Structure 1
Amino acid sequence: MSLHLRKLQPDDLFVIESTYKEHTLLRAKLFEETRLFGCLENDLNALNGLREWYKKFVHFFLAKYPKYFKIEGDFISNLILNTKLLSVNEFICRYNWGIQTGPYFCTPFGNQDTLKKLTNPKYRFYDRYNSQTQPELPRLFENGNQLDFNLVFFRVERQNFTKLESGSILFTIHTYIHSLMELRDLLDVDEKGKFIEAINGIKGEVAEYKDVNNWKKAVEQFIFGETSGKTKEKYKHIFVH
């Protein structure tokens, strides 16, 4: 609904939240099952950038969260998960990154056009749109009584762009996703009003792209308690990012 840019405070570089343990254990489980990861192959700059990030990350956690991370001999212990962190070389050797292909986990090339790309980013996509004739889609989400709001989600991204001392670029994305069933319980009356006000504030090309008129009435009805959707049952979703 909106985009906000601000300079990141050093203390906010890495944040441990109440969902840390649950999400991290699930991420580890999925990683073991899928082994889906990647790294830029055979590039010393990428490896050095990863080492630098890992060192910065570990030192940051030791300083900011001494109750949860501490040095024990040659290892740094994670007291939340009751585990010991591997060194970068141990991690790379264990999972044999040398033969991986696909997505880049770490890239040394950076972004040479950052300021230009961040200028008015919300509308850059729409400027490249061409007029097309499309059949009108059915209005599937106008009636809140027909929706299961456990399956209607609100997503926010916290994106962090950092340049390390060596010049390597660190770009992290933390995604927060709540079902509207969960979100309604979390918001007080004032926050609900601001939430709906923000939705109603989506105008023009952004509103067309998001198809706001198709779903905003149903969301407003649900958030203000005018409907509970097609079920009052609540169930939890866990998203790994």
Structure 2
Amino acid sequence: MEVILSQLPDFFRPYSGPMLLVALSLILSAFAIQSRLLPRPVRPLDGSTLERPTKSKLSVKDVLPEVTIEPVDPNFDWKKEEPAPYRPFKNAPYRVNMAIQRADPQNIIVIENSYLKSTKLRERIMNERADISMACHPSAEAALKELYCTVTDFLMKRYPMYFHVKENGATFYNKIKDESFPLDPASEDRLEVLKFLGRTIEEDFIILLKNGEKGELENEYVWRAGVSCYPNGFVPGEKFNKPLTAIHGPVPQYLERLKVSMNKFFERLRVNEFVVRYNWSMQAHTNIFAPSMNHGTRTAASVKPLSPEDLDFNKVFMRVEKQCFTRLPKTKADVMFIRTYTTPVTKIKAENRAEDFCGAIDGLSDGFAIYKNKVLWGDAVKAYLKGESSGLTEEVYDFDIFEAQLNGELMKK
């Protein structure tokens, strides 16, 4: 044995060169594979750098660990909380994809300085436009009441200085609005539960259930309940009890690019998982309740472009939807929260984002240019951003879209 061992180095010496190269190649290959799998820095919407979360090893059927909701700072003052400055546009061609990312569970629902006026406006919309702004199919009643408990529990944990249980232990109290609602909605009518939620948070919400009654599309998720006070160019009442494919019928390339991935997304969404996506559009009017006008349905040739000289750009808005998704633990219903932000074009220009936004406008082409009404407002907005026109006024001022619509007329169907 000692003789054999002593001869091993001489035996391998002729192969040391090739073996070294093979070993080096294997090491480099492993490093390349690892570098692809490791999380890479991504650029979030605010321009900072974050680490992409590593993929979960849980299967799509598993429940993720429960999230602990942390209270805001004790000195938090909702009146001083400015709306989040989301700017999801890019100086590039518009791409059709879901563009989802992980969401911070602490910010699924937020309280900002628009809260009081916005929730009062929502109350008015639900009272005057109940037929198109809210609905609940009987199949979604259990999910709706579970969502009510989820939202009120979140608010009491996240904002304990404004939301808490009253002394009797059976009432949820909203200090900002001085309103009380039942803590347990079990015995409440489902439409009343919709109103309780709709006037307590600024977020619209949609409950989606897998499949539907006979005759509906197979393997589709159906809009079974929700409140939609801030529709963006569609009539919510016409979307209730419709599957996703029918709801997104007007969206260009939905069938070809998004239908399969969207249904798979809702199928795979897990309990205690929170994801978010953003989209942007434009409107040259002052209605945040906008069941019409924001989307084009005609050919580009039939739309008369707006003149920049006819517009007050303090009242021309980039409209952003923050769409958050999660799954309820008991009923397993999927929920979508939609928070709508309107930012005047004057502010985008003041932020020195004019070049980027012009690039985003130019990036809208073909079907999406029509769908987003680019032909109507595109040239006028670009003229303002480039300094070619000041519009009706050079004065820059704050316009309160909630107060204006709260005290004005609501847009008709």
TM-score, reference length from structure 1:
0.70
Task: Quote how far apart the aligned CAs of 1:47 are.
Answer: 2.2
Alignment CA distance shift 1:85-1:224 (3 Å): farther
What RMSD, in angstroms, separates the aligned Cα atoms of the two structures?
3.8
Matched, 1:77 2:151: no
1:23 is aligned with what amino acid? S
Q: Which has the larger share of helix?
A: 1
Alignment of 1:182-201 (within 5 A): 182-185=344-347, 187-201=349-363
Alignment of 1:1-241 (within 5 A): 4-36=99-131, 37-41=134-138, 43=139, 46-73=140-167, 74-86=170-182, 87-89=184-186, 91-92=188-189, 95=192, 106-109=207-210, 112=219, 123-124=253-254, 136-137=301-302, 139-141=304-306, 143-149=307-313, 152-166=316-330, 167-178=332-343, 182-185=344-347, 187-207=349-369, 209-210=371-372, 212=374, 215-231=377-393, 236-238=400-402
d(CA) in 2 for partners of 1:219, 1:106: 36
1:25 is aligned with what amino acid? K
**Local SS of the residue matching 2:401:** coil
Task: Quote how far apart the aligned CAs of 1:64 are.
Answer: 1.0
Structure 1: gaps spanning 5 or more residues: 98-103, 128-133
Task: Quote how far apart the aligned CAs of 1:231 are.
Answer: 4.9
Which residue in the other structure is 2:272 paired with? Answer: none
Alignment CA distance shift 1:66-1:91 (3 Å): same
> Which of 1 and 2 has greater Rg?
2
Aligned residues: 219
Alignment CA distance shift 1:90-1:184 (3 Å): farther
The higher-RCO structure (CA 8 Å, 6+ apart) is 1
Which residue in the other structure is 2:59 paired with? Answer: none
Alignment CA distance shift 1:195-1:110 (3 Å): farther
Counterpart contact for 2:305–2:379, Cα < 8 Å: no
1:39 is aligned with what amino acid? C
Task: Quote how far apart the aligned CAs of 1:138 are.
Answer: 5.2
Q: Which moved more, 1:227-236 or 1:8-17?
A: 227-236
**Local SS of the residue matching 2:113:** coil
Counterpart contact for 2:207–2:336, Cα < 8 Å: no
2:382 is aligned with what amino acid? E
Structure 2: gaps spanning 5 or more residues: 1-88, 195-204, 213-218, 222-244, 246-250, 258-298, 407-413
